[in-house]
Chains A and B, each alone.
Chain A
Amino acid sequence: MTTNPVTRPGWREVSGDSDPDLPVSGRVALARLAGRAIALTDGVTATAGPAGRWLTVGPQHEIPGVLAVEDGHGYVDIELHLVVRWPPQMPLEQLGEQVRTRLRRSAATARLGERLGAVSVAFEDVLTETGST
């Protein structure tokens, strides 16, 4: 992924998305990267929760299962809300670590690594062949 020069403080253009020309905040860019990290990890999916409370709203679309919050010190804390597919191929702690690592790597590649704060992972449900809650 390539990044264009910062257009204004805290804003960065992220390419490789459905709306590559639209500048987004670092917070939304990190939320998108988090969404992709979840999508690329086998055995988990994101959940926005029963009332859609775990969601980041971007300029053109929503990122379910990801909450990105500016902490007031220049960092963006990320909460990932996941559903695990049954049967999981590894312990949940390890699965969560895979997503976290993938996000940190892609944030570093997108030069957003220094803005990324804590990445919390919460497993909310289990998905079976007949569906989850």
Chain B
Amino acid sequence: MTEADKTARPTPSAAQIRKVAEGEDSAPLPSHLGQTTIGEGVVTKVAGLAAREVPGVHELGSGAARAVGSVTQRVGLGDAFNQGVSVESGEKEAAVDLTLVIDYGESIPRIADAVRSQVIKRVEGITGLTVIAVNITVNDLYFPGDDEPGDAPRVA
């Protein structure tokens, strides 16, 4: 590499590189040292996983979405953690829409509040984005035994 080549592009100063190399993480990194990007799929998945961490949340997604999702997951095209989650994210902010199935007997407002708090905590803590909205739709209740096949007919 010639001297002319070296001066053709702004280079990190030796002091800056030394600071990085010595692990002085608090030193602000000049932008030409490289940037960090977080894919929208990552934000979506973090939001979905965070919502699932709340007790009382049975599943995410509408009935149709779950049916289609189970097929696409089987052929390796879908991801269960993105089901029922929609995220719009910019450079600094994100808005999250969630569709939930809640266990029967739980308080819907309490679960919704808990989900909202958990999603904000996780997304902001992990991605550094500010969550400006978490919109929640509860579209179904789960009753224990709903998944069991072969229910006896109620009438003869």
Contacts and interface: CB of A to CB of B under 8 A. Distances in A.
Contacts of B35: 118, 120-121
Contact of B1 (A74, A93, A118, A119): A74
By DSSP majority rule, is chain B's interface helix, strand, loop, or mixed?
Answer: helix
Given A104-B20, A126-B45, A120 B5 contact: no
Interface of A: 10, 71, 73-75, 78, 84, 86-88, 91-94, 96-97, 100-101, 104-105, 108, 113-115, 117-126, 128, 130, 132-133
Nearest to B1: A74
A125 B125 CA distance: 17
Contact of B6 (A74, A108, A126): A74
A125 B36 contact: no
B73 to A, nearest CB: 10
A120 B46 contact: no
Give the size range of B's interface with the partner: 35 or more
Contacts of A78: 34
Interface string B24-42: 0100010011111111011
B34 A119 contact: yes
By DSSP majority rule, is chain A's interface helix, strand, loop, or mixed?
Answer: mixed
A14 B1 CA distance: 19
Given A125-B39, A133-B79, A118 B5 contact: no
A123 B38 contact: yes
A26 to B, nearest CB: 9
A119 B33 contact: yes
Given A74-B5, A75-B9, A126 B37 contact: no
24 contacts: A10-B1, A74-B1, A84-B42, A87-B49, A88-B126, A92-B36, A92-B127, A93-B36, A97-B36, A100-B20, A101-B23, A104-B17, A105-B21, A108-B21, A113-B17, A113-B21, A118-B32, A119-B33, A119-B34, A122-B37, A122-B38, A122-B39, A125-B41, A126-B42
